[in-house]
Chains A and B, each alone.
Chain A
Amino acid sequence: MLRRSVERMAARKSARQYWRSLAWQLAVVAAALLVMAWMAVNAVESLQRQHIASGFDFLNETAGFGILQTSVHYTEESSYGRVLLIGIINTIIVAVISIVLATVLGFLIGIGRLSMNWLVSKVCAAYVETLRNIPLLLQILFWYFGVLEALPYPRNSVRVGEGLFILNNRGLYLPLLQSESGAWLVWGALTIGVAAALALRSWAVRKQMATGVRPATTGMVFGILLGLPALALAATGIPFSLNWPHLDGLNFDGGLHIFPELAALAVALATYTAAYIAETVRAGLQSVSRGQREAAAALGLKPSLAVRLVLIPQAMRVIVPPLASEYLSITKNSSLAIAIGYPELVSVFAGTVLNQTGQAIEVITITMGVYLALSLLTSLLMNWYNSAQAMRGE
């Protein structure tokens, strides 16, 4: 009886606490919004007083300048809004490449640091200590000018075939596969094929878990994976063409062109961030109790299998949350690209557009908004992955 009423009181109290803290939080948010609104009004007023253009109409105006790397249609007649889009795409391109490279390298080095091999573990430790302690901007400049120094002038390009592979200090040129009309069918078939193959595999794994026997699916997987697109190719009459790089004026043109700026930036970001990821991975691995390693050894698993099948899956729960923040810093650090002329968001939008329009407040607000959105997106993906991992571990 007594216990019940105490419990009820406690519940009521915690409910009250809950509401009170909620009210407080709302009040704080409201106050923050008010302050921000006040600042915005203030800023707009003072801009108008100073005859400085304001508002977001400029996004529709003609940009008038050229951009080095454009993966969607862009000419000088395109709008500032289009420049924003290209900036975002270029940021994402370098971020994704760097994230993949950094993750692979980071895991290798993190695992290497715990290696039984003295040399390997010392080399990995030295890597981490060195790379973390040199400012990133210096590393970017080092890679960039290093790459430029190493590559030949266009006249002395390293060349394979007419246009199969051309490398010089203007970048790497490769033939580009171009989709003609009807190509979507082939891409669609490929997507379906991949999805079906994945489904088949997970079915086979489940079967193996349940019965201990894995159904032979290899033939079927290959059949679907290759057969469907092949059928689509045949049906549409191979709707692709190759765009070959060729000499035009002072430089090569056409094909797929990878710029030294992108390469240097991606390598710099990846090698730098890999040092941090390696530490995260090491911490994660060390968090798995010794017993697990010993148990894996007792079961007769080779060390490499023990790491892959026993240690990493358990370590992942410790690794993933800080990994997410490493990915975020890659995205943010990519803005250092402005130093070497890689046209990502800050360089083209918060740089050139800001200067051309003078609308600092609007441009910076949009830029911050984009970074915020990219950060939230990364966090979301990583949280989702993390909870999937955590669940699998239960």
Chain B
Amino acid sequence: MSFLELNKVTKIYPNGTKAVHETSMNVENGEFMVFVGPSGCGKSTLLRMIAGLEDITEGYINLDGILINKVDPSERDVAMVFQNYALYPHMNVYNNLAYGLKNRGISKEDIEKKVNEAAKLLQISEYLQRKPSMLSGGQRQRVAMGRAIVRNPKIFLFDEPLSNLDAKLRIQMRLEIKKLQQKVGVTSIFVTHDQVEAMTLADRLAVINNGLIEQLGTPIEIYNNPKSMFVAGFIGSPQMNFLEGELKNKTLTSEGFEINNVTSDFNGPVILGIRPEHMSQTDKGLINLSVDLVEQLGSDNLIYGEIKNKKDFCFRCPGSQIIKKGSKLSLNINDNNYYVFDKSNGNRVN
């Protein structure tokens, strides 16, 4: 039995919105699970059902061997970090951390010890006497984390906790969250719509679309082996290029080139997916790209251009390579790193 089990969990809001459809998944003890998906796909809803903040319309959730469908959130022993932190504005940082412990009837000395430990871990010891309004965004973020950690809950739930921070702080906090989780070892679920965050944090990743889990796996599995066009487009940055094509007897024709010996028995209209980083320049390549735009990121260059009918085709090359706007490139796909999807339903067919 897994630590957290979701069994055909469905959520229908009172107004009829079906936010989560028969979702099943298992999260193991100590695992860092990330829910990623576009806005409105039901990530928060799923998380809030685990926390007990939303009723479960159908299905079961087991936490640590206990069916928690009807357990009050205050008794589930889960901790959640909200996007806007939801710190207690009238309490100082110390009491923000101590409040949950007080409610559990822990002695004053123990509370003090635990709060000080957590504060030290998060480097907020200096601010313990301050009110949340006197803290910066990053410090508030830490306090919110501290409030979760100090209780040593069964599971941490994070609902887009980094999205209010500026880009630099975000990357820093991302790293700290990961380190912290590894140190404390508490099972965590992290919701985000940022795929870089998802890739870097996750032990395992659930890509959610329209209330359904499209794919569940380690970040690298999902990156290398997306099961559907949606997942392929969502994971990876810059986004995978999609070209229309036709597959017939293992031969794929698309935008002025052909690929032979495709490992698929599918026949019919398809979408060909190629990641920008899976191509390289050669003399007589498959793809002829006329360059419209060059984005220099320093380490890499992102080249955008046109191939036959497809605009904004992206190719990624090392930053040392100098490519001018208006030039023509000839590209090959490395090691048959391409993906073929059924055009009608987006499922992977190769």
- Chains A and B bind each other: no
